[in-house]
Amino acid sequence: MRPSFLTAASALVFLALTADNATRAQEVAPAPNTDAHYQAQQQQYQQQLDQNAQEQQQYQKEKQVYQDRRANYQDQRATYEALRDHYAAERARYHRYEWPARFAEWRLKSDSSLMNVRVHLINGDTVGNVIGAAHAQDGVIEALQVMLDDRSIVWIDANDIRFDQFNGTVITDLYASDIRAMARERVG
């Protein structure tokens, strides 16, 4: 029996020595190259920094373009508002006849049936023909372009125009002299 005990004891000693040697082998084995891993991480980080810097530059360029366009828009808007105010002041100085009760509530149509329609003063005198119309976004006519009998062209606001449904003509409350003055006006 002794030999089997020795054999078992020998096996235990052998296993212990083998485990001890494996542990020592792990301790002696070189560690993974942490320097190479660190360098790879540094390179990736630097690439991300470079990409971020490029994106920041692109953002700053786009921001500048936006600011330039916005400033340009503000300038254009100020110019437009000044012209609009000038136009309104000019239009306000013109003389208008009072609308007779029968025309007071009439309004323009919003279709193309006004083209080439004769334009009359309230007193019945003709001044020209409709050759164009300016519409708001909702399709409502804001003004009519009229070629006067002397071949000059004028825009007449919708507030100064009525459509005579019975005669199929356009009527304006403006004085003839003011319509001719409007035709001579130049913007800018």
**Per-domain residue ranges of the chain:** 112-184
Average pLDDT over residues 87-93: 76
Residue 26 exposure: Cα atoms within 13 Å on the Cβ side = 5
pLDDT score of 1: 47
- Residues 112-145 have pLDDT tens digits of 678 889 999 988 899 999 999 888 888 888 889 9
**Alpha helices (runs of H) in the chain, residue ranges in sequence order:** 2-28, 34-92, 176-184
Distance of alpha carbon 156 from its chain centroid, rounded? 30
**What residues contact 168, with CB distance under 8 A and at least 6 apart?**
117
Residue with tokens 């190259």: 33
Residue with tokens 């003055």: 181
Q: pTM above the 0.75 mark? A: no
CATH code for the part of the protein at 112-184: 3.90.50.10
